[in-house]
Structure 1
Amino acid sequence: MPTVEELYRNYGILADATEQVGQHKDAYQVILDGVKGGTKEKRLAAQFIPKFFKHFPELADSAINAQLDLCEDEDVSIRRQAIKELPQFATGENLPRVADILTQLLQTDDSAEFNLVNNALLSIFKMDAKGTLGGLFSQILQGEDIVRERAIKFLSTKLKTLPDEVLTKEVEELILTESKKVLEDVTGEEFVLFMKILSGLKSLQTVSGRQQLVELVAEQADLEQTFNPSDPDCVDRLLQCTRQAVPLFSKNVHSTRFVTYFCEQVLPNLSSLTTPVEGLDIQLEVLKLLAEMSSFCGDMEKLETNLRKLFDKLLEYMPLPPEEAENGENAGNEEPKLQFSYVECLLYSFHQLGRKLPDFLTAKLNAEKLKDFKIRLQYFARGLQVYIRQLRLALQGKTGEALKTDENKIKVVALKITNNINVLIKVTSDIKEFFFHCCSSYHYRQKRASEDTTSGSPPKKSSAGPKRDARQIYNPPSGKYSSNLSNFNYERSLQGK
């Protein structure tokens, strides 16, 4: 084993040789043997080996293996030095191997070391993006779980930081090709990360690119298979996939396939859905997603059948008025629950799909069913007006900090929801105009949930006209609001509650 003095002497021989450095193979071998020495010798070897690596191609394997030994040393300072120098080995056919090694090193628990690995990977990415991706995807497909997890997270966070000259069209095509291989077997979290990776690629931000992503999500969601509402994993997979698909839909990229599946397979089983997510109102979550997708639904094969399913589900959440006893009081002991959030989602979805079949209410329903619908609608509207008055009274005069309490935040959101429903019901009351009413008159906001729905600030004024290719996004309710409102006690206030 060489001493520190011997390492410095042979380093001097190589440094002074200039263009003839390749003739001093023995001197370089002494430096390679430094990895077998003590702490001081290893630190010097970690610096000297990469410096002269390119001059000795016949010793490339030995040099990389020696540096890799140093990357796995017990001394953290030696590991850090060795990792920092690894990009110098990333030349020609060696680059994919270096990328593979660095990807494996992502499993380190030392934060400084982890940052060095990230920086080294980014460095060689800029040298050869395709070669680096080869090493990364090799470990994602075949590496240990911790390496796979961190390699995916590296791609999801670092790709967007790379310049356009690195992420060329060919590189993006390679990312898509390799991602499809990984998507054949992924967890829910991994799927979300890969959708983040792919949706950030320039080549997939076009209409055809978004359509390609929707098809990928649909395949992941197993929309060709019969839905099993009692299988929590099946339910969770569908919701995860649909959440990823929703931002991709537009007037040119239709949600028809997803909306059809929800209407035919999910709505009929709404009450029997199971979920592994504790505390999640799974029924409301499904209805919110359906409402968001309904704006971009194209031509549907079984439109009338699916409208009937939506209509029947809507009736379930719009109760009939309670029967009156002789004394004018309710004959039943319990007052019907008015499920405002459910109705908001269903009414909106029903309206959006019904615009494609405007005679559904008047020509496709018999007189008795239409009369029943009107009665339920009027009863629900009366209860809604009471709740709106109660909310306004409770929020009257409150500004600033007073609106930031949990209770008042809920009331602010509830007021927005009930106002949404109120507009929908007013339109619905005129059956002939129901499916022709312009969506822009609704209180549905075009911004997604990133807008703070609990803010007490007044809404911004909209521009004179819609922007080109503006997407009308349904902003779903952020909570579940119900109220036990009596048919005969419409002037109750929130005082004393």
Structure 2
Amino acid sequence: MPTVEELYRNYGILADATEQVGQHKDAYQVILDGVKGGTKEKRLAAQFIPKFFKHFPELADSAINAQLDLCEDEDVSIRRQAIKELPQFATGDNLPRVADILTQLLQTDDSAEFNLVNNALLSIFKMDAKGTLGGLFSQILQGEDIVRERAIKFLSTKLKTLPDEVLTKEVEELILTESKKVLEDVTGEEFVLFMKILSGLKSLQTVSGRQQLVELVAEQADLEQTFNPSDPDCVDRLLQCTRQAVPLFSKNVHSTRFVTYFCEQVLPNLSTLTTPVEGLDIQLEVLKLLAEMSSFCGDMEKLETNLRKLFDKLLEYMPLPPEEAENGENAGNEEPKLQFSYVECLLYSFHQLGRKLPDFLTAKLNAEKLKDFKIRLQYFARGLQVYIRQLRLALQGKTGEALKTEENKIKVVALKITNNINVLIKDLFHIPPSYKSTVTLSWKPVQKVEIGQKRASEDTTSSSPPKKSSAGPKRDARQIYNPPSGKYSSNLGNFNYERSLQGK
């Protein structure tokens, strides 16, 4: 077991040998033996072993194993020094092995070590991206759960920081190929991270690239299988996948397959859906996703059938007016509750798909059903006007901080919802019905276009999921507006705002 003095002496021999350093194998072996010494000897060995590593290819395995021993030492300072030097071993065929070792070291709970491992991985990524990916994906596919989790997070956060000359087309193709292998068995959270990784690749931000991603998501969503509304994992998988697909849709990347599945499989089971996340309004969540997708639906095989399903579901949320008794009062105990948030989604979806079959209301419905629909529309529109006036009155003159109170935030959202419904209903009152109006869904930001600038025609944004049951990521808070039941009230303070917050 060499002493500190012996380590320095043999280091001097190697340093002075210059071009003949490879002839001093015995001196390098002494340095390798330093890993068996005390703290000082190990610390020196951690620095000296990598410095001369490339000159002794016949001792490569011994040198890497010695450095790896130091990376697992009980002394944190020795571990950090050894990890810091690991990239010097990443030469030729050794690089994938070093990448594999570094990936395993991601499991450390020491924050300083963790940062060193991240930096080391990034440095060898710049040397050989393919070799580094080989080590990372090897551990993702076969490593322990903690290593797999952190390797995926490394890719999802660090890839975007790498320069274009590192992330070449070939490298991106390798990432896609390896990711597909992983996606055969992932949790919901892992699926979201891989979609973040893939949607960030330059080669997948084209129309054909995003179409490829949509097909990948559709495969994960298992759209060929019958939907089981009572299975939380099945519901969670569909929600996870659809959320990932929505940002990919555009006028050239259609949502037809997803919209069809929602109309045929999900809408008929809307009332029996099992929520995968406590507190989630699952019915509204589904309707919002359908509304967002409906704008980009292409040609649908069973358009009339699916429009009818959408129409029937809309009727469920647009009640008939209550019957009046002889004295003019309601014959029933109370008027139906008008669920504006749900109606906004369903009306918008019906409006978008209705454009593809504009004579649906006039030619595809019998006279009785059309009359029933118009009565419901009129009743809903009448209540709508009252609420819009009351909301505008309540918000009149309020600016800045006054609009940031919780109550006024909900009223602002309510006004967006009711205005949207108002515009859509007006279109359907036309004879024949019109589908020309454009509205921005209440939970979506209004897109401003600068004068003289052309709006981008393509969206460049960017779970099978469960290997194990995994609740979907929480959506940001979003207000749901449900006005009161009973007579139209002029007293806004009596409004029964439902503060159930879901959605993006």
Same fold (TM over 0.5): yes
8 Å Cα contact 2:410/2:479 also seen in 1: no
Alpha-carbon distance in structure 1 between the residues aligned to 2:42 and 2:495? 87
Determine the C-alpha separation between the residues in 2 that align with 1:23 and 1:108: 38
Q: Distance in 2 between matches of 1:494 and 1:102?
A: 42
Change (3 A) 1:461 1:160: closer
Native 8 Å contact 1:129 1:167 kept in 2: yes
What are the Cα deviations for residues 304-333 of structure 1, in whole angstroms up to 9, with x where unaligned?
A: 000000000000000000111122111111
Is the contact made by 1:103 and 1:135 (CA closer than 8 Å) also made in structure 2? yes
- Across the two proteins, how many residue pairs are aligned to each other? 487
Shift of 1:488: 16
CA displacement at 1:334 relative to structure 2: 2.2
Contact residue 185 and residue 465 of structure 2 kept, 8 A? no
Q: Distance in 2 between matches of 1:450 and 1:438?
A: 32
Asked if structure 1 preserves the Cα contact closer than 8 Å seen for 2:281 and 2:502, the reply is: no
Which sits farther off after the overlay, 467-476 or 62-71?
467-476
Residues 464 and 15 (structure 1), Cα distance of their counterparts in 2 relative to 1, 3 Å cut:
closer
Superposed CA deviations along residues 27-54 of structure 1, whole A, max 9, x for unmatched, are 0000000000000000000000000000
Determine the C-alpha separation between the residues in 1 that align with 2:470 and 2:278: 41
Asked if structure 2 preserves the Cα contact closer than 8 Å seen for 1:71 and 1:78, the reply is yes
Map of 1:38-77 to 2, 5 A cutoff? 38-77=38-77
Change in CA separation of 1:485 and 1:344 when aligned onto 2, cut-off 3 Å: farther
Asked if the contact 1:255–1:298 (Cα under 8 Å) also holds between the matched residues in 2, the reply is yes
Shift of the alpha carbon at 1:300?
A: 0.6
Mapped contact 1:2–1:30 kept (Cα < 8 A): yes
Q: Cα offset for 1:461?
A: 47
> 1:468 and 1:131, CA in 2 relative to 1: closer, same or farther beyond 3 A?
closer
**In structure 1, distance between residues paired with 2:386 and 2:467:** 27
Asked if the contact 1:96–1:134 (Cα under 8 Å) also holds between the matched residues in 2, the reply is yes
Query: RMSD across aligned C-alpha pairs, in angstroms?
Result: 8.8
8 Å Cα contact 1:233-1:275 kept in structure 2: no
Contact kept, 8 Å, 1:394 with 1:494, in 2: the verdict is no
Q: Deviations over 1:379-411 (max 9, x none)?
A: 001111111122112212222111111111111
CA contact (8 A) 1:292 1:473 kept: no
Q: Mark the CA change 1:232 to 1:479 in structure 2 (over 3 Å): closer, same or farther.
A: farther
The SS at the match of 2:490 is strand
Cα distance in 2, alignment partners of residues 61 and 464 from structure 1 = 44
Per-residue CA deviations over 1:452-485 (Å, capped at 9, x if unaligned) read 9999999999999999999999999999999999
* Structure 1: distance between partners of 2:167 and 2:477: 28
Distance 1:139 1:487, change over 3 A: closer
Match of 2:338, SS state, is strand
Q: CA 1:78 to 1:457, structure 2 compared with 1: closer, same or farther past 3 Å?
A: closer
* Contact 1:290–1:349, Cα closer than 8 Å, also in 2: yes
Does the 8 Å contact 1:336/1:486 carry over to 2?
no
- Provide closer, same or farther for how the CA distance between residues 360 and 187 of structure 1 changes in structure 2, counting only shifts above 3 A: same
Alpha-carbon distance in 2 for matches of 1:387, 1:481: 8
Q: Following TM superposition, by how much is the alpha carbon of 1:303 offset from its aligned partner in structure 2, in angstroms?
A: 0.5
Q: 1:438 deviation in Å?
A: 15
Q: TM-score, structure 1 length as denominator?
A: 0.87
Shift of 1:349: 0.5
Aligned to 2:23: 23
Closer, same or farther: CA 354–470 of 1 in aligned 2, 3 Å: farther
Residue 83 of structure 1 deviates from its aligned partner by: 0.2
Contact kept? 2:84, 2:116, Cα under 8 Å: yes
What stretches of structure 1 move > 2 A for 4+ residues in a row? 435-442, 446-497
SS for the counterpart of 2:370 is helix
In 1, the alpha carbon distance for the partners of 2:38 and 2:114 equals 24
Contact 2:236 2:472 in 1 (8 A): no
CA distance in 2, matches of 1:82, 1:312: 67
- The superposition leaves residues 406-445 of structure 1 with CA deviations (integer Å, 9 ceiling, x where unpaired) of 1111111111111111111xxxxxx996x79999999xxx
CA contact (8 A) 2:337 2:483 kept: no
1:282–1:460 Cα change, 3 Å:
closer
* Structure 1 residue 251: Cα displacement: 1.0
Please give the per-residue CA displacement for 1:150-191, whole angstroms capped at 9, x wherever unaligned: 000000000000000000010000000000000000000000
Q: Distance in 2 between matches of 1:306 and 1:143?
A: 46
State the distance in 2 between where 1:182 and 1:465 align.
19
Q: 2:286 and 2:304 mapped to 1: Cα distance?
A: 21
Deviation (angstroms), 1:447: 14
Number of the residue aligned with 1:427: none
Task: Determine the C-alpha separation between the residues in 2 that align with 1:233 and 1:463.
Answer: 8
With over 3 angstroms needed to count, the CA separation of the structure-2 counterparts of 1:70 and 1:397, relative to structure 1, is same
Q: Label 1:471 to 1:206 Cα distance change in 2 as closer, same or farther (>3 A).
A: farther
For 2:471 and 2:101, how far apart are their aligned partners in 1? 57
- Cα separation, partners in 2 of 1:489 and 1:236, compared to 1, 3 Å: closer
Describe the shift of the 1:87–1:35 C-alpha distance in structure 2 as closer, same or farther (beyond 3 A).
same
The 1-side partners of 2:470 and 2:61 are apart by 65
Distance between the aligned counterparts of 2:73 and 2:202, measured in 1?
Answer: 41
Identify which of structures 1 and 2 has the higher relative contact order when contacts are C-alpha pairs closer than 8 Å and 6+ apart.
Answer: 2
Q: Is the 8 A contact 1:412 1:456 kept in 2?
A: no
| CA distance in 2 between partners of 1:248 and 1:378 (Å) | 37
Distance 1:233 1:465, change over 3 A: closer
Percent sequence identity over matched residues?
98
The answer to whether the 8 Å contact 1:383/1:487 transfers is no
Give the 3 Å change call, closer, same or farther, for CA 395–457 of structure 1 in structure 2: farther
Residues 74-103 of structure 1, C-alpha deviations (whole Å, 9 max, x = no match): 111000000000000000000000000000
Decide which moves more: 458-467 or 46-55: 458-467
Please identify, of 486-495 and 244-253, the stretch whose mean Cα deviation from structure 2 is larger. Answer: 486-495
Once residues 394 and 3 of structure 1 are traced to their aligned partners in structure 2, the CA distance between those partners, rounded to angstroms, is 83
- Maintained 8 Å contact 2:482/2:496: no
CA distance in 1, matches of 2:230, 2:179: 30
Compared CA separation, residues 117 and 480, structure 1 to 2 (3 A)? farther
**CA deviation vs aligned residue, 1:87-132 (integer Å, no higher than 9, x gap):** 0000000000000000000000111110000000000000000000
Distance in structure 1 (CA, Å) of the matches to 2:346 and 2:109: 49
Question: TM-score when scaled to structure 2?
Answer: 0.86
Decide whether the 8 Å contact of 2:256 with 2:296 is kept in 1. Answer: yes
CA contact (8 A) 1:410 1:454 kept: no
481 and 68 in structure 1: CA distance in 2 versus 1, 3 angstrom threshold: farther
| Shift in Å, 1:276 | 1.9
- Are the aligned partners of 1:46 and 1:70 in contact in 2 as well (CA < 8 Å)? yes
